[in-house]
């Protein structure tokens, strides 16, 4: 499986609760701590700036949306490969993520846009909001693409940092503009920050 989302739990996984396993862990990275959460279907959530307060809110929200209590299990087999691939990405040893993804936290247009982003905008490339809208057959829906980027439950792995303004501006980013700059610098799109 890969980040194009070929494996999906569909919309039904959210709220099923009974029997659904959700594990999470926090991983230190060059852009700060990331909370990773996974189900049996795949990686389901990546959360930036995972301080204790952010963690508590994210885990509570995840439990509410998936209908089960997420459990912190840093050595879970469900998280081993996502953690390994993220570490390799930040070390400059990996350009693409090849992970099963659980898309149950996103649906409709937002899911369509994020799948196109994951499969069609490679490492080191960027795309404009309007261009991405056109790729999913919705020219003129640039603002809706911006909303989809903000709703991305799998940032970094589904690379919303690669979506920029058509006039060359960096655009917005849920993880903060400095984080977006760092990710684009890591991929060679922007110069490395001086500090």
| 160 catalytic per annotation | yes
3-state helix, strand, coil in the chain (%, to 5): 35, 10, 50
HEC string for 83-129: HHHHHHHHCCCCCCCCCCECCCCCCHHHHHHHHHHHHHCCCCCCEEH
Tell the burial category of 62 from Cβ atoms under 10 Å away from its Cβ (0-12, 13-18, 19+).
buried
Give the ranges where the chain is alpha helix by DSSP (H).
52-66, 77-90, 108-120, 129-135, 142-150, 177-186
From the candidates 31, 160, 164, 183, give the one annotated as an active-site residue. Answer: 160
Could you list the active site residues? Answer: 160
């Amino acid at each position: 499986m890969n980040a194009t989302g070929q494996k999906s739990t569909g919309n039904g996984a959210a709220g099923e609760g009974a029997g659904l396993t959700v594990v999470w862990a926090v991983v230190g990275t060059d852009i700060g701590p990331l909370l990773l959460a996974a189900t049996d279907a795949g990686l389901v959530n990546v959360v930036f700036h995972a301080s204790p307060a952010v963690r508590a809110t994210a885990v509570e929200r995840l439990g509410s949306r998936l209908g089960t209590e997420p459990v912190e299990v840093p050595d879970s087999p469900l998280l081993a490969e996502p953690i390994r691939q993220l570490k390799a990405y930040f070390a400059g040893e990996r350009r693409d993520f090849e992970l099963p993804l659980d898309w149950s936290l996103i649906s409709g247009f937002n899911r369509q846009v994020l799948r196109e982003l994951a499969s069609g905008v490679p490492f080191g490339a960027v795309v404009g909001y309007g261009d991405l809208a056109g790729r999913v057959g919705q020219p003129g829906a640039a603002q809706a693409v911006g909303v989809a980027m903000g709703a991305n439950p799998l940032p970094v792995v589904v690379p919303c940092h690669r979506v920029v303004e058509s006039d060359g501006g960096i655009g917005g980013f849920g993880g903060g503009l400095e984080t977006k700059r760092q990710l684009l610098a890591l991929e060679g799109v922007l110069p490395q920050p001086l500090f």
